[in-house]
């Protein structure tokens, strides 16, 4: 095995290329979808985030940034999370759009009068059908072994893209808010 092909630098370059291609695909596919997705978040009195595994961890990062903007944000499954209600938003991430717990939560949200926003690779999935807005990421699903969309392991590209998309939404909303970094900083945890 050639160590230059298996080196961290080589892998980092491959990850960067895949992310560049994915981001370009999202922007070129439907730039207005990104704005509509962000508008749905800002129009909701409360935002609940839900994803499984690494996708869930990625959405937790988005929840934290939305909280820094002063939004009322909750992570589904935490003991202090209130019940979702009419007008609220369930922000989800599921590459397959078929993760049972996420689909059930989306069904519950819709039946409670809440809306669902989904980040997925599968626009025809049960989760996408329940969603008011979807962002389709052109990434491989975790069981896709074709290497056509990504040569990374499992759903890595999807999960990385969820983080980047969340940060991009936060950044756009922050710029629009006109708030300074110093104004956001007091919302960080200060229990240390």
Catalytic residue numbers, as ranges: 159
φ, ψ (nearest 5 deg) of residue 74:
-135, 145
Residue 67 to residue 22: CA distance in whole angstroms = 27
Buried b (16+ CB within 10 A) or exposed e, 12-42: eeebeebbeebbeebeeeeeeebeebbebbb
> Which tokens in the block code for residue 184?
């956001």
Query: Which residue in 128, 161, 130, 154 sits closest to 140, CA to CA?
Result: 154
> Which tokens in the block code for residue 188?
């960080």
Residue 148 to residue 126: CA distance in whole angstroms = 24
Residue 185 to residue 179: CA distance in whole angstroms = 10
> Which tokens in the block code for residue 39?
């508008």
């Amino acid at each position: 095995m050639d160590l230059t092909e298996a080196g961290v630098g080589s892998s980092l370059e491959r990850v960067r290329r895949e992310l560049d291609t994915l981001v370009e695909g999202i922007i070129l596919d439907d730039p207005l979808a990104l704005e509509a997705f962000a508008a749905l978040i800002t129009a909701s009195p409360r935002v609940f985030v839900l994803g499984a595994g690494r996708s869930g961890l990625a959405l937790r990062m988005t929840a934290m940034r939305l909280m820094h903007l002063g939004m009322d944000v909750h992570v589904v499954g935490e003991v202090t999370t209130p019940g979702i209600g009419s007008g609220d938003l369930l922000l989800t991430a599921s590459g397959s759009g078929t993760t049972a717990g996420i689909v059930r939560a989306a069904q519950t949200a819709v039946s409670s009068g809440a809306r669902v926003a989904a980040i997925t690779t599968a626009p025809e999935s049960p989760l996408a059908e329940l969603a008011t807005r979807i962002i389709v990421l052109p990434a491989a699903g975790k069981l896709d072994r074709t290497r056509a969309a990504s040569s990374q392991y499992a759903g890595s590209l999807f999960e990385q893209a969820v983080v980047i998309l969340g940060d991009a939404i936060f950044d756009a909303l922050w710029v629009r808010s006109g708030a300074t970094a110093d104004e956001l900083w007091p919302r960080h945890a200060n229990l240390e």
